[in-house]
Chain A
């Protein structure tokens, strides 16, 4: 694998291989000294044109635990402010010896565009409302860890909220269905994309209908920063119908698990503290983020899979 840009590009086989590799990385993170020399001498550059806490820090932690060097590009203090183009920025960092770029950008397709300007591997850390493949890997790994099942055949996964703007939803729908799960989307019609009828999912507009039959309830953040206007009448009305409340949690199955990719909007889609939910995996999602990203970096830079037949 040369790049990780979308779950469909990765494919089911690649998905399963990365999930297996993550088991090894999780063991490293349990050690008294959680660091291996595997990627010594490699350089990972993070190129974030959008804000991030979890993804950027977990990629940097992952790179460091594999002994790679890290370059962090901070848009707000960079020469982008002097008018340097994306192309020149990528070329500059490539010249400094970056072996991989971790890219987040508001525009769809940037990771494919950048490929033409660098020999380095490219990891998509979010491109617009398109893809966020490492988040999907984290979520699949977290569900596996909690349910002790390798595949999700027959599992009912419900994704709730702002589907339209969510790259997490798009990556997760692909990954969950690759592993055999049945996915139901719950959102008001205004927060569903126009082409949803072509997706391998069911759609329901009423959260209360699907609560009792869900094995996994995946809450999405309402992305107010991407809303021009008119997607929801008021935040209060949205919360009334689509937020997770004490009452709704009580109607979940005993074994049902609750997930959220973060950051959370407390009082909007989450009207309950996650620590009050018995089977919340929200903390596991963050903890597993490092192991998953170690697996991705190792696969791209260290596994020898890119040697092109030399083996």
Chain B
């Protein structure tokens, strides 16, 4: 357990000291959301209608773009070989790295989402559900993204490849997260959507590390 905790804290310290990892993801998130009013016009009714979708899609894209620092740096300098040789199971290593990725990407995105919700004229009554959905759904984004990041280690164009691989996997959290907000706006219950979102995350929790660890072993062969 201690090596895994050590890995988790090491990842957090690295992203803090290398500076700007959290800031870059947040900055992209905010910019991506801000582009939509320029694109579709500033009318509050229109923006409020699509606001949840804008925020979720921007969160997905910010998550995809930050996936390359999950395994690539360790793979390039040989650290991943040492991690694989350690007694800790590779699946739990993936879990630890995914958790660190979530803390540095998903959690800040969730924290800043109320501000962006106001910017896109989302009805304030929907903001708690938006935050809760992001809180439940972003761990799934980190875990599913870990699969794609591990699969594309050593590929020729890893960035684009990861996006192509991961976006079909990201559709269920997107659908349920935005569905929850729309349910609140239509004054129906959002509970079912949030429960299904939680189900996706819980489903990804054991299975994504299995797949990602298998992919890491293939990459290290």
- A and B bind: no
| B residues neighboring A (CB under 8 Å) | none
